[in-house]
Structure 1
């Protein structure tokens, strides 16, 4: 199949990372893949290193009158069987054509951007149900999960502070609830928390750590690419998000066999069987988060059982092979049927 994958997202993010992984995996599986991306030299370099030839376009705001015609010319020249538009901005620019147009949603987005699409894909069952509830035809709404790299066996990174060590990851944004994790840390004596990520909330979070009296036990690591090493070094992985449509970070922790404590946001609630593959606590509840963390630190055997069950869930449903097979089957099913010569 000839597949165009259109992404106009940010430099960092769960959807952006999965976009790269899926493009490279489809290419390695023998599909002809054209990545079309918002201008980003680092992303383009990673895709080229995997054997792809990305096209970079502007994907600007409402006054961008150039990207639409340029994208149409690129697609007409490549002649894909299927074009996948990732998230709102890409879907807004992606034109209809002789290809099947698929919109891929990683959240509860405004469907006005996807009016030209033939099919929509949600990366959780709840998002897919929500798409149908908005009036989208059920036969053209599909659930396809993400996969993450298998991080088992990584050598531990050198995290600041002594054990026990907690790890949280993600963009420093209010939705991620790192303020809740910091407030919970104040109720978990001796533990150290490392936060891997960057974003607009960093200064406020640093101030909160000082206010809560835990500045000496919180380390802000910035953006890190050694996710496996960070996970290997922690005792408990903490996902304190207020809003988390999926939770790639939960999948990564599972793949690394780390026990997970998560706020019961949308994605973690769908992924985690409470008490079996992790521990769920109410959103915006630092006391409950702290109690769950203390419970795992005080009972290493229970923590190990949860970690093993999470690893099994990852191996069953979220490996590259499992998810790639589902994506390839879906794309083949929705591609236009070619007439025999």
Structure 2
């Protein structure tokens, strides 16, 4: 990422990404130039060379290193640095992984999307003053009118959406739904291979009221409430997306959701291995619309205060400007981040 000056420049940064191919469409839509790389392993020389080539050509003011896999593919800066090389390196910690690769990649400052990950990095020995919280940007859901009939679902039934799940979470959902005989479920498959999942739904005798839906935002918009059924979620982005859609949310107490949700304040948390607890939480919320509305409104407020595009983008923009260019009059803390520069 290279800083650009000039009054006619529409944005303060020129951006270029070296990323996996599956990120291509989203980056292209955002106008970010890109080059693909496989990011296969620590000894992936192809990715390492492509990143090095881009750095040599761009000579950026700021290099963002997203996650440990990217950190492993970035060469440590030369010591002493070449004349004119003033690239600042910012690491983004995305999970409970090693942090040593960031140090080997020349990263001095880390940011993480949840306070729990910030604390994790500090506990592993990263200097406390060099790691801070920087919330992710979650855009408004772009969903219009949703017709339940499209997925063969009556309008007058209780409907719950599970926009995100893993294999264990899906199994837990099906077991819990046996205890909810009047409730329908829209399940977004965790992969495109649905043959085994359809067989599991039939075996659980739930084919009459469980539907597979391929659009998470659509599922949430049409439902009365949402369930996040993932055991391995370190960040909790699906929770924030449900808050944005103003739906009461029940989540398995994986690290990400547990770090975000205040239980019975802006959502509900349940044990990740207890189908009875999940069915009870869902049934109680459906039987108490006022409570569900209260949780949905509180979740929406949490989203607007911390994750809506305008505010979250301002925090990112300020942090990047401070790291990439001359000091600004404002401090990062003024925009809601505790990253120190």
TM range, normalised to the smaller chain?
A: 0.7 to 0.9
User: Using the alignment, how far apart are the partners of 1:29 and 1:150 within structure 2?
Assistant: 21
Identify the match of residue 268 of structure 1 among 257, 260, 275.
257
Tell me if the contact between 2:258 and 2:269 (Cα under 8 Å) persists in the aligned partners. Answer: yes
CA deviations on 1:135-177 (whole Å, 9 max, x unpaired) are 1111111111112121277322434423211111236443xx1
Give the structure 1 partner of residue 159 of structure 2: 165
2:39 corresponds to 1:89: no
1:1-341 correspondence runs (5 A)? 2=2, 29-40=11-22, 43-97=23-77, 98-115=86-103, 116=105, 117-151=107-141, 154-158=144-148, 159-162=151-154, 163-170=157-164, 172-174=166-168, 177-199=169-191, 202-222=194-214, 224=215, 227-335=216-324, 337=326
- Offset of residue 306 of structure 1: 1.2
Q: Tell me the TM-score normalized by structure 2.
A: 0.82
Superposed CA RMSD in Å reads: 2.4
- Offset of residue 38 of structure 1: 2.1
Secondary structure at the counterpart of residue 33 of structure 2:
coil
Tell me if the contact between 1:2 and 1:32 (Cα under 8 Å) persists in the aligned partners. Answer: yes
- Offset of residue 334 of structure 1: 2.9
Secondary structure at the counterpart of residue 213 of structure 2:
strand
- Offset of residue 203 of structure 1: 4.7
* Shift in alpha-carbon separation, 1:263–1:70, aligned structure 2, 3 A: closer
CA deviations on 1:306-341 (whole Å, 9 max, x unpaired) are 111111111111101111111122223333659xxx
Q: Tell me the TM-score normalized by structure 1.
A: 0.82
* Shift in alpha-carbon separation, 1:201–1:316, aligned structure 2, 3 A: same
Secondary structure at the counterpart of residue 15 of structure 2:
strand
Tell me if the contact between 1:193 and 1:217 (Cα under 8 Å) persists in the aligned partners. Answer: yes
User: Using the alignment, how far apart are the partners of 1:154 and 1:210 within structure 2?
Assistant: 31
User: Using the alignment, how far apart are the partners of 2:42 and 2:76 within structure 1?
Assistant: 19
User: Using the alignment, how far apart are the partners of 2:325 and 2:293 within structure 1?
Assistant: 48
Secondary structure at the counterpart of residue 135 of structure 1:
coil
User: Using the alignment, how far apart are the partners of 1:118 and 1:160 within structure 2?
Assistant: 53
Tell me if the contact between 2:112 and 2:118 (Cα under 8 Å) persists in the aligned partners. Answer: yes
